[in-house]
Amino acid sequence: MIELKNVTKIYPSKAGDTLALEDVTLTVPDGSAYGVIGLSGAGKSTLVRCINLLEKPTRGQVLLDGEDVGAAKKKRLRELRRSIGMIFQSFNLLEQRTAAANVRFPLELVKTPREEAKRRVEELLALVGLSEKADAYPSQLSGGQKQRVAIARALATSPKYLLCDEATSALDPATTESILQLLKRINRELGVTLVVITHEMKVVERVCTHVAVLGQSRVAEEGRVEDVFSFPQSEIAKRLILPEALRSAAGEGGPKLRLVFHGETGNEPVVAGLARTCGVEANILFADTRLIDGKSFGQMVVGLPCDEAQIAAAKRYLTAHNVVFKEEF
Amino acid sequence: MDALLVSRLFTQLIETNAFPLAVWETIYLTFASAAVAYLIGLPLGVVLAVTGRGGLKPVLWLNKAVGIVVNIFRSIPFIILMVALIPVSRALLGTSIGNGAMIFMLVVAAAPYVARMVESSLKEVDAGVVEAARSMGASTLQIVWKVYLPEAKPSLLVGAVISTVTILGYSAMAGTIAAGGLGALAVTQARPSNAQDVIWLCVLLIVVIVQIIQELGMYLAARTDKRVRVKGRKNKAKETK
């Protein structure tokens, strides 16, 4: 379990202090895939670096399974870091080493016997599907392959946690998808707890079980992905989750309802039902379906006529049919 | 041989096999000095790169101290440094003339130069790679040995070529303290007897030596660099499409 308690990070400079994180408190449960989403400059990268103390928090505590990382002595800190793998947007492979030698690198640091290291490297390259590229240098690999090598390297010391700092941001959509699937498998099958830093909602939807939305150095909201997705509370979360075109049209036209479907409610013909049962002609303004953590989630925004009685009837119908809705706009 | 075309000194030198000896002495002075200069300059360069602001382990006072010493030695023209080092050489080596003293002086002049070359090579290493190594729990020493030096190897080799050629240039002043080599031959023997042909042959030989060092060094640097393989370039080109 990773716990951040009131973590604040300030970068002092002559031009004035920069507040990167302000009073951030969150808990990453073991086995979860914890997303941290926010726009650029929100402090995501600083947050993830506070976990393995690549950045030292100005105030506050970081607890790793209850142990205060900030209080760890040098040697202990290095041990702790070995239990936390990390991958990066720019892969950060050693350019003068082959793929296999890159994966071997963390094993060399702890002086793993040659034969054992060799076996482990083969195992890891097989896990990420790159066995045949063992002797290739990074300059001979594509972006996706480089990230796979980086993942294998991060897993070499069998860490309990894997920090992913914008790991797919430099990749094309198809490659992103395959890397996300690999991360999901590592989470599910190896039981490695993921902390996924990203600015893309899609990444959170595909991989994460939990999410923290970071807005201007603070945690705007936090929770299970499906809850945050269904009922975004904060301005920043709404901005990331709700369709842009509708937000900009907020307040225009008549009243609008945002309906959220999960699982079984996804099959109800709600709009037809509204018209048939209550005589309310709902206008579909937006609809999409997303796959969140393997389950399908739908959202629909409907415009209603400006009639109090009809709106009330529509709401009664929706409630009766277990459709979650909210007046978002 | 015709005395009008070839000076007497030239004939003499050919007969005594002086040219091969001078070539050998130049090479020996240069490489021995370069080797010892790296023994001192490489660690100094690492210290400069690691302890600097934004370095792996900032120790600003140490960085400043080493930096100032390096700058002082680098700002003294070699010919003056040589003269100034005569009593030091006598005290340390028991002599201030000959090849041994020359190597000592070349090392003193070149080590600070080497330190700066090494520092700049190490600073080229991608900060992200260093951060990745830190995230894996590498110690400062491990990062120096396993990240900085191997990752900077091609650049360090290029630096070594430049340093060696610079030292070779300095070594031409060896004649001043009765050491040997092509420079000494040209300045102390050919110049006084106005044997232009000897001077030009010395120049030619030095040019050839420099060319060989340069080409060989660059070939080695290119061969060790795993980033610039032709195949790698092709991949890069594909990616950007």
Q: In this predicted complex, what is the ipTM?
A: 0.85
Side-by-side strand order, sheet with A324-326: A283-292, A295-303, A256-262, A324-326
> Are B136 and A139 an interchain contact pair (Cβ–Cβ within 8 Å)?
no
Which residues, other chains included, contact A37 with Cβ-Cβ below 8 Å and sequence gap of 6+?
A44, A198, A199, A200, A201, A203, A204, A211, A212, A213, A214, A240
Say if B240 is an interface residue toward chain A (CB within 8 Å): no
Nearest CA among A102, A172, A103 for reference residue A144: A172
Asked whether A124 and A148 are in contact (CB, 8 A), the reply is no
Say if B232 is an interface residue toward chain A (CB within 8 Å): yes
State the pLDDT at residue A328: 64
Residue A163 is given by DSSP the state E
On average, the pLDDT of chain A sits at 89
Q: A37 in helix, strand or coil?
A: strand
- The residue in chain A having the minimum alpha-carbon distance to the alpha carbon of residue B226 is A96
Pick among B121, B122, B135 to test the A interface (most A CBs inside 10 A): B135
Question: What mean pLDDT do residues B173-198 have?
Answer: 87
State the pLDDT at residue B239: 42
Please tell me the total number of residues recorded for chain B in this structure: 241
Look up the pTM and report it.
Answer: 0.86
Say if B144 is an interface residue toward chain A (CB within 8 Å): no
Residue A160 is given by DSSP the state S
> Are B235 and A95 an interchain contact pair (Cβ–Cβ within 8 Å)?
no
> Are B135 and A141 an interchain contact pair (Cβ–Cβ within 8 Å)?
no
- Provide the CA A226 distance to its chain's centre, in angstroms: 13
Higher-confidence residue of A329 and A232: namely A232
Residue B186 is given by DSSP the state I
Residue identified by tokens 């393997």 is A294
Give residues 79 to 108 of A whose Cβ lies within 8 Å of B.
Answer: 79-82, 84-86, 88, 90, 92-97, 105-106, 108
Query: Which H/E stretch holds residue A181?
Result: helix A173-189
Q: Which of A109, A137, A141 sits opposite B136 (nearest CB)?
A: A109
Residues of A with Cβ-Cβ distance to B142 under 8 angstroms: 109
Q: Say how far apart CA B180 and CA B184 lie, in whole Å.
A: 6
State the pLDDT at residue B112: 96
Question: What mean pLDDT do residues B211-227 have?
Answer: 93
State the pLDDT at residue A303: 84
> Are A96 and B139 an interchain contact pair (Cβ–Cβ within 8 Å)?
no
Take residue B97 and report the two structure tokens written for it: 């003339």
- pLDDT band of residue A197 (cuts 50, 70, 90) is very high
> Are A109 and B142 an interchain contact pair (Cβ–Cβ within 8 Å)?
yes
Say if A137 is an interface residue toward chain B (CB within 8 Å): yes
Residue identified by tokens 């899609």 is A202
Q: Which of A54, A85, A137 sits opposite B134 (nearest CB)?
A: A54
Take residue A276 and report the two structure tokens written for it: 């048939």
Say if B129 is an interface residue toward chain A (CB within 8 Å): yes
Asked whether B183 and B174 are in contact (CB, 8 A), the reply is yes
Q: Say how far apart CA B42 and CA B54 lie, in whole Å.
A: 20
Say if B134 is an interface residue toward chain A (CB within 8 Å): yes
